[in-house]
Chain A
């Protein structure tokens, strides 16, 4: 798979449009109420996670909330992708499997932290269809490389747009971990871990278009019907 993401604006069932609606900023100004406090101890060097994200929750502006929800959407996708890949059992190579397990745990942690920061303002997890990319080791490796490089470009694009310092610190702490992930899977794939001296940012719209092109976000099955009487045997 090339480094370049398909930018085809394929929007299955309007799911991407919904995602965009959910994460675009409200017109009203205001500050987020304090989000949930999280447990600590998962930053290298022993720094306390709860302080990082609690501060962010208190200081975030509406713009920051939109950015955090954008990040959360990407993290939902990555967390589900890696968790499913581990569960699908199609990864035979021990090095690839270790990568998947470690990164799955990281992305789940990112989801938890962003959800905790956003509290009631967090967007819901979308439904996903990974189109077989979690069910083949080769497809997994290629897709993981694209997803991680995308994550790096996404955070780089948003960091200068963040208002609150506390939110920025959280974003920077995740950004470089995504870059480590990207380098790691590239190394496993035999691709240059650091292909250039300066990584390029991409805008929110560019990233969402790229995500839409993967067709991973779907609206999920409609399981409830209203209004018509059951025709079960009774």
Chain B
């Protein structure tokens, strides 16, 4: 391919991207399991800005009751019916995402429940959503969700220190060195949760065990199954610590096996720069 054609191709792609971005907020929202996505804002930095976190207003009736405290008990709930997550706890509010009942891995789709309100006799749950942009929240009618499941653990990944730490009720119970995303595929920062757990597969590059998170790569948007960030083992432990991956957090195999004994899916996850 000639340089000119490559440049032309690149400009065309960029133009297309800009067109998508221009229409982004007027478009129908994504189906969160990856079929159709809101295009990401390039670079990921703006997406992680707290200003873009879709915290909806809470209305006058009752103040939201908190359901998760990462230093205490957090709660996650299964998505039991296909349902729209909305910007505000009202059936007329803008749809932020449509949630399905299964993840691409076939596990139950779950959300982290942050708060609950009652509006007009109906209960709504403010949920942390596994969609792009990262750190998006939305309100879901409670009756589309299952029961409350509790965890008392919290995982923190420090991208600068190349370290992951697991807390239980605020006390450190595990930590390990990690490999994180290379700069062009940076592991996104923000608040997430562990979505599922994969075992007994035959991909040595992922080690013996992998945790799926609700975090998604803002750059690898055409990655199969939505480009979710995982936390997994490795067959190249000598690369850890370092910026080594396409966005996933890599652990030495012994460390992830230890983590598995202490942490269950549903655990809130903070990724800090």
Contacts and interface: CB of A to CB of B under 8 A. Distances in A.
A88 B115 CA distance: 10
Given A127-B149, A223-B108, A228-B105, A234 B198 contact: no
B143 A232 contact: no
A233 B65 contact: no
Given A132-B143, A225-B107, A230 B245 contact: no
A232 B210 contact: yes
Nearest to B34: A231
Contact of B123 (A84, A132, A233): A132
B230 A221 contact: no
B202 interface: yes
Nearest to B121: A136
Contacts of A226: 198-201
A93 interface: no
B142 A230 contact: no
A224 B247 CA distance: 22
B248 A220 contact: no
Contact of A232 (B200, B232, B264): B232
Contacts, number: 121
Interface in A82-97: 84, 87-90
Nearest to A222: B108
Interface stretch (B50-58, B162-170, B219-227): B219-227
A206 interface: no
Contacts of A229: 198, 201-203, 206
B185 interface: yes
B110 A223 contact: yes
Contact of B232 (A88, A225, A230): A230
Nearest to A224: B197
Interface residues of A, number: 29
A129 B210 contact: no
A50 B146 CA distance: 37
B200 A227 contact: yes
A101 interface: no
A129 B265 CA distance: 18
Interface residues of B, number: 50
Contact of A231 (B143, B181, B224, B264): B224
Q: Which of B106, B110, B148, B203 counts the most chain A CB atoms within 10 A? A: B148
Interface of A is mostly: loop
Given A132-B123, A225-B106, A225-B107, A233 B147 contact: no
A73 to B, nearest CB: 16
A99 interface: no
B104 interface: yes
Given A232-B248, A233-B247, A234-B245, A225 B105 contact: yes
A222 to B, nearest CB: 5
Contacts of B210: 230, 232
B166 to A, nearest CB: 17
B65 A221 contact: no
Nearest to B231: A232
A220 B147 contact: yes
A135 interface: yes
3 closest residue pairs by CB, A with B: A232-B230, A129-B147, A221-B108
17 contacts: A84-B148, A87-B73, A135-B123, A218-B146, A220-B147, A222-B107, A223-B107, A226-B199, A228-B106, A229-B203, A230-B201, A230-B212, A233-B220, A233-B245, A233-B248, A234-B205, A234-B245
